[in-house]
Amino acid sequence: MQLQEIMKIVDGKVVAGKEHLDHDIDEIFAADLMSDVLAFTTPGSVLLTGLTNVQSVVTAHVAEVKAIIYVRGKKPGRDAIKLAEQKGIPLLTSPLSMFTACGRLFEKGLRSENDLVQP
């Protein structure tokens, strides 16, 4: 699924990286703890988070996340936007809660690799 379709599903708006909306996305990952992002996300995923500081972009870059969607209507600061533009990471904002955004994306077939792991 392309990022532009994901944006519509979560009622998103582009904050940075409009030129990257044609990225293909197969997985999502949702977390506010950046240590969880580093430990559990799959490269190429979209990150849903409420953490809007520059650390979210740094973590996304290290984890090879393709895009970040900030939930609950949160917007990143100038430093985060500037870094995302430098790193080529699209930033979106959604008015939805993390739970609702994840639910909508799940309904459309997007999963996290962690969902596939059996205990």
Copy the structure tokens of residue 107: 């309904």
Its pTM stands at 0.92
For residues 96 and 89, what is the distance between their CA atoms, to the nearest angstrom? 21
Superfamily, domain 3-108: HprK N-terminal domain-like (3.40.1390.20)
Residue 88 · residue 11 · CB < 8 Å: no
What ranges do the domains of the chain cover?
A: 3-108
For residues 46 and 68, what is the distance between their CA atoms, to the nearest angstrom? 6
DSSP H helical ranges for 1-119: 3-9, 34-40, 54-62, 78-87, 98-107
Helix (H, G, I), strand (E, B) or coil at 25: coil
pLDDT per residue over 39-48, tens digit each?
Answer: 999 999 999 9
For residues 20 and 23, what is the distance between their CA atoms, to the nearest angstrom? 6
pLDDT per residue over 16-54, tens digit each?
Answer: 999 999 999 989 999 999 999 999 999 999 999 999 999
